[in-house]
Amino acid sequence: MRRLRLAILLPFTPVFVSPASAQATAADIVAAHIRSQGYACDAPQAAKRDPRASKPDEPVWLLTCANARYRVRLVPDMAAAVEQIH
């Protein structure tokens, strides 16, 4: 009976994601975008959104990889605009 309760309640258990893991996910996603365009990004470390450079439908991310830093503008249904920064 205890296993049955656990099996019923488990799918409804809330899952909490810490901000650190969400940040890593953003870095992985942005890194995947630029890699698909031929840019090198070894071990993405962080992705921080740049609110001053972002537009409503075009977020800009500052992506830090082990080998480089990039400013990435994600444009819907188009290739990302990528600029390597130093």
DSSP output for 12-71: GS-----HHHHHHHHHHHHHHHHHTTT---SS--EEEE-TTT-BTTB-EEEEE-SS-EEE
pTM of the model: 0.71
Chain centroid, CA 47 distance in Å: 6
pLDDT tens, position by position, for the chain (86 residues)? Answer: 555 443 444 444 444 445 555 555 799 999 999 999 999 999 999 999 999 999 999 999 999 999 999 999 999 999 999 999 98
In sequence order, the 6+-apart residues with CB closer than 8 A to the CB of 76 are 57, 58
